[in-house]
Structure 1
């Protein structure tokens, strides 16, 4: 598939925005989508990339806010990853998620775009309290696999990747991927699309050398869980004031 696609739009939440992977320029996070786009641009000088993802977005918001502007740009390749924030909430509705996921992929496919889908990595192995919610993520991932099969989409099945047992793949908040984790995902996307990954990813260095396992549960709860609960109680989101970092398709420059 090398060089097959010349335009790529990334849709989703913090996973696709790149939270957990600080940009070398110190501005917005980088993340796997930026890394993949950079690698793809090395092989295709006409490659353009947009990233509409915003942290904290629920599934319906991703669909309602990001799918229309993505469709208007008529991309040849789309990545769609959402639902993790929903699965963390008691109001999670898997049947509604399944119905809308099928419709989103059908729309992009009908427009001639290839679609990349992702299952969630198994964060429950190291995030306190997640064992109670693990069944939701298992069910959500089953939905994504079914959607991928029905519409012949590309599936990056992160749930089955043993690499995520490594604490260095996770940021200090234990919920988002670290630089190393994002590089791993980028390499998997490159593999699926026959794009040559950056050799530097194999020796990935985490910008913050503190791994998710180095922070005590008490420290983690005070610094990360407490603020998350406060936002839930007040109806706020970490992405309330965040705008897409690359709203329009444009050429990729190497960081």
Structure 2
């Protein structure tokens, strides 16, 4: 399981005295961090990799607190303006930041502006003493339309994330370098969000990166599906376009977002048992 990135610095807060032992964790971002498409066992909302990480960090630590501020559909500037100040005010020992994916799918994507703001944002979060987790995106260009447009943007942003992470001593989790993410079974039916197996794998990589043992089963990827015939692939693509691509395009044309009526599922630091 490749995990790339330079050696990271440690936060200077007292709760980072022992590697991996954090009293609090705040997750910041969009649908990737909110947990789509990993339904909770009780069917009430989504779980996702961040909840799984919090569950491990909370084990035998009654003082542990967790907040998840991520909201699906959020653009990079919205994440920085709305979520980052809240996360900093909570003074967590560990904070994760993932954003920019929704921007990359738009024609107005301005990588230079986003990368400059990413650098300042991570510098600010690290300046509080928190440990920060960043992500290099997995390659989605083979499953999504517009691959010629998307792939160069992913390359630019992934390179920047690696550089910013090294510059500020953040933990960089590289999903790009994990070949298992080419397995369709790690992705949901919309081909954009992770499946439960995909979220488990991300959680395992995050925990490994911050020096915490994880359930080894989380790294066991399901067998890839059987190769479909040409006709079956075309039928599957047509169904996907009708059920997922067309609604996405309609939202773009009407200026709407999948997260317009959605709020953060865990807006305040609280024990994991509290929803």
> 4+ residue runs of structure 1 moved beyond 3 angstroms?
202-205
Which among 36, 39, 48 is matched to residue 65 of structure 2? 48
Which among 128, 132, 137 is matched to residue 149 of structure 2? 132
Measured on the aligned residues, the alpha-carbon RMSD in Å equals 2.3
1:114-146 alpha-carbon deviations (Å, 9 max, x no partner)? 110001111112223324321111111111111
* Distance apart, 1:248 and its partner CA: 0.6
* Distance apart, 1:174 and its partner CA: 0.3
Partner of 1:31: 48
Deviates more, 1:235-244 or 1:122-131: 122-131
Q: d(CA) in 2 for partners of 1:28 and 1:203? A: 25
Q: d(CA) in 1 for partners of 2:198 and 2:64? A: 24
Structure possessing the higher radius of gyration over alpha carbons:
2
Query: 2:42 aligned with 1:22, yes or no?
Result: no
Q: d(CA) in 1 for partners of 2:29 and 2:191? A: 19
1:173-195 alpha-carbon deviations (Å, 9 max, x no partner)? 00111000000000001101122
Query: 2:263 aligned with 1:243, yes or no?
Result: yes
Instruction: List gaps (5 residues or longer) in structure 2.
Output: 1-17
TM-score by length of 2: 0.86
Q: Which one has the bigger helix percentage?
A: 1
Partner of 2:7: none
Instruction: List gaps (5 residues or longer) in structure 1.
Output: none
Secondary structure class of the residue paired with 2:204: helix
Partner of 1:181: 198
Secondary structure class of the residue paired with 2:70: coil
TM-score by length of 1: 0.92
